[in-house]
Amino acid sequence: MDTPQKTVTQIETPVSKLKVENSPVFNYINSLSPITTVKSISNAQTFSSLSFTSPPPVFTTPHVASHKGSRFRSHSNSSDPSNKVVEEALPEKEPPQILNNDCLTTTTPRVTNDGACEDGETDLQKMCDDNVKRKSDTPDWETLISDSSDMLIYGSPNDSEAFRCFLQRSSDSKTRLCSGSKPALAPVSQSNEPESSDALSVLHRGVRRRCLDFEMPRNNNQTPRCVVPSIGLHLNAIAMSSKDNNNVSKEYSFTGNVKVGLQSSTTTPVLPSDDIVRENETREEAAGEEGLEEAPVSLALVESEQAGEGESSCKRCNCKKSKCLKLYCECFAAGVYCIEPCSCIDCFNKPIHEDTVLATRKQIESRNPLAFAPKVIRNSDSTIEVGEDASKTPASARHKRGCNCKKSNCLKKYCECYQSGVGCSINCRCEGCKNAFGRKDGSSFAGMDTEQDQENETSGKSGTTIPLPPSTPMPLRQPLAQLPISSNNMLPSQQSQQHLHGASLYNSQSFRKQDMGLMSQSRIETIAEERAEDIENFIHSPVTNINALSPNSKRVSLPHMDSTETTPWRRNGGRKLLLSSIPTFPSLTPHH
DNA sequence: GAGTTTGAAACT
DNA sequence: CAGTTTCAAACTC
């Protein structure tokens, strides 16, 4: 009897009964015991609630095992514990409710006991005593707590910071972490949170977090970015398409995602969010299997980066009739939620309308799986880009579908190729192409020179306009930004699941993010190469064939090949490899 | 800031 | 698939 219940002893109730008989003291305790039992119950509830709702087996075990539980739990349960911890750490943010919960849940194990012990002092004292013993017995708690703190943080609203720290640790780019962290966190937390209390509350938290996160980042330093799009995330092929690029240059991007978060506070990246949420689920699942969890993180990171960068350029849309639910909307197209800076009217691209956004997105993807995929594909060179010029970019990158310019001569941003800072290619159906980054003819990139020359010859406007176009800037970052978006939506895990679809984009994005953020440049380069290969493969593959077959069709285009974007592809092929390689996750694990 | 131009996206 | 319309960004004034 007794022996078996050692674990129970911790729980207290059963033991108490047994012992009660033995000594008056126990009797006394017994009187108390009820309370304790209650606690235990409460704990159980909390745990159950926390872990379960969606919880993967992992969670279940942990919480059950619980208390001692172990790291595992802390990690896995990060949600719960994290929240608790966070709350404790950051009582401010979390509403009292949470605290209560925390008390209940946490009480047993640690802190609560000590400090909180609000409940019955006597009981608590006893409990504390017991706890003390327990602690002595299982110092793990503290350690766990401390250890888990990171994770906990993760889950909590504050997560962003903690998360960031992690990320930073794990990865290098701080910005990413900061910005990205949110999205990633949000998703994660959300997934977890729901367990704890109300899904809604969770969502709100998520939102808050994102907002906070965003703020945090800002505060931190990073830049005021819009940070907002991480949101993946966030976050969607990210979307990025040309815009993404813009993002890069401007802010957008993922930022977009990030933005989202900021936006209304609601959250962020629409798609990303959705995707994130989904992905979170899927991830968890997948993660369980593969340990993809990382992916999300990476995505988040990516997003964050983008967001961070994007921030500088926070993208904003000005939609009036599309409700920001069509690809006309840059934010939506980028897979991010609209945020405050947007001047849109009747905007539905907000976390509040997540369902609508997702549904719309699906609809669009059903029509064109690549709708949210990056528009620009880059070669290995793409990484190079550095700004200097576009000259390089153009060569390596190409617009999937190609442009259809007739009057702009591909010398203005009306041209997606030009806007993205890439040269026109065979896929383009443009007329009078003078793309400075590379003409459809083949006159290569470098446009500047050639173009200027030509322009000089043809028209005077050229020079200034061409160079100006941020095209250069765009291209550089674009990849990141873009990828993130789509990726946001689609987590790697999802990617794997989703396959090539739009998801692929996401995947790619996410991938990118990971790549970008986590991976060193060298890796990126390699990836880029891989991408190129993948792209080729893609082209050969049925899907790609589509593009090849119908270059004209806008949507047909391949799944993003962009260096940044392209990643996704490879992911398809080599995704796992990348993922596995991706450090992002690892960083998280360390926490364990 | 308002109006125009442009080409992608969406629709038929 | 092609043509047309709608839309919002890019651009101009």
* CB proximity A404–strand B (7 Å threshold): yes
Separation in Å: C13 C1' and A424 CA: 30
Q: Which nucleotide has the shortest C1'-to-CA distance from A321?
A: C7
Q: Residue A298: CA atoms inside 13 Å, Cβ hemisphere, count?
A: 38
Closest nucleotide to A323's CA, by C1' atom?
A: C7
d(CA A421, CA A337) in angstroms, rounded, equals 25
pLDDT by residue (tens digit) across A195-224?
A: 333 433 333 333 333 332 333 333 343 333
Extract the residue ranges of chain A whose pLDDT is less than 70: 1-315, 378-397, 442-592
- So what's the pLDDT on residue A28? 56
Task: Confirm if A515 and A567 have CB atoms less than 8 A apart.
Answer: yes
- Residue A512: closest CA among A365, A295, A242, A338: A295
Through-space separation of residue A327 CA and nucleotide B10 C1' in angstroms: 9
A416 CA, B10 C1': separation in Å?
18
> In strand C, which positions have an atom below 7 A from any protein CB?
1-2, 6-12
Spatial distance between the Cα atoms of A524 and A53, rounded to a whole number of angstroms: 38
Query: What's the pLDDT tens digit per position in A328-366?
Result: 998 898 888 898 778 898 899 988 888 889 889 888 888
Tell me the nt nearest to A333, Cα to C1': B9
CA–C1' distance A229–C3 (Å)?
37
Q: Distance from first CA to last CA of chain A, Å, rounded?
A: 34
Q: Is the CB of residue A82 less than 8 Å from the CB of residue A151?
A: yes
C-alpha dist (Å) from residue A73 to A68, A147, A294, A434, A536: 8, 12, 18, 60, 44
- In this prediction, residue A326 carries a pLDDT of 92
Q: Determine if strand B comes within 7 Å of the CB of A554.
A: yes
Q: How many Å from the CA of A475 to C1' of C1?
A: 33
| Nucleic strand C near CB of residue A419 (< 7 Å) | yes
The answer, yes or no, to whether the previous bond of A233 is cis (omega within 30 of 0) is yes
Among protein residues, the one whose C-alpha sits closest to the C1' atom of B8 is A328
Residue–nucleotide distance: A133 CA to C9 C1' (Å): 67
**What's the pLDDT at A426?**
84
In chain A, residues 130 through 149 whose Cβ sits under 7 angstroms from any atom of nucleic acid strand C: none
CA A550 / C1′ C2 distance in Å: 14
**CB under 8 Å to A249, separation ≥6 — which residues?**
A312, A313, A470, A473, A474, A476, A477, A478
Whether A465 CB is under 7 Å from strand C:
yes
Nearest residue to C2, CA vs C1'? Answer: A553
Distance, CA of A203 to C1' of C4, in Å = 43
Shortest CA to C1' contact from A554: nucleotide:
B8
Spatial contact of A194 and A49, defined as CB atoms under 8 Å apart: no
A325: helix, strand or coil: coil
Q: What is the pLDDT of residue A27?
A: 60
Q: What is the signed CA dihedral for A120, A113, A101, A140, rounded to 10 degrees? A: -150
Report the alpha-carbon distance of residue A246 to residue A410 in Å, rounded: 17
Q: Residues 424-443 of A near strand C (Cβ < 7 Å)?
A: none
Strand C and A319 CB separated by under 7 Å: yes
Question: What's the confidence (pLDDT) of residue A319?
Answer: 92
Query: Structure tokens of A44?
Result: 């159980």
If residue A111 lies in a helix (H) or strand (E), which one and from where to where? helix A111-111
**Does A326 contact strand C, using a CB cutoff of 7 Å?**
yes
CA contacts within 13 A on the Cβ side of A87: 27
Helix A24-47, helix A96-107: angle, nearest 10 = 130
Burial of A22 (0-12, 13-18, 19+ CB in 10 A): exposed
From the alpha carbon of A331, which nucleotide's C1' atom is closest?
Answer: C8
Measured between alpha carbons, how far is residue A325 from residues A257, A332, A336, A355, A356 in Å? 15, 6, 11, 12, 8
CB A428 within 8 A of CB A434: no
Which pLDDT belongs to residue A324? Answer: 92
- What's the Cα-to-Cα distance from A537 to each of A176, A399, A488, A545, A555, rounded to whole Å? 31, 17, 24, 10, 19
DSSP string, A533-565: HHHHHHHHSHHHHHHHH-SSSTTTS-S---HHH
The dihedral built from the CA positions of residue A53, A59, A61 and A67, taken in this order, carries a sign that is negative
Nucleotides on chain B that have an atom closer than 7 A to a protein CB are 5-10
Nucleotide lying nearest to A549, CA to C1' measure: C1
DSSP code, position A180: I
Q: For strand C, is any atom closer than 7 Å to the CB of A556?
A: no
Burial zone of A278 (CB within 10 Å; 0-12 exposed, 13-18 middle, 19+ buried)? buried
| Closest-lying nucleotide for A408 based on CA to C1' | B6
Q: Is the CB of A413 under 7 A from strand B?
A: no
Instruction: Using the structure, give the distance in angstroms from the CA atom of A415 to the C1' atom of B11, rounded to a whole number.
Output: 22
Round to whole Å and give the CA distance between A245 and A239: 9
Contact A157, A209 (CB under 8 A): yes
Instruction: Report the distance from CA of residue A239 to the C1' of nucleotide C13 in Å, as an integer.
Output: 33
Strand B-contacting residues in A 306-345, CB cut-off 7 angstroms: 326-328, 333
A292 CA from C10 C1′ (Å): 41
Rounded CA-CA distance A434/A440 in Å is: 8
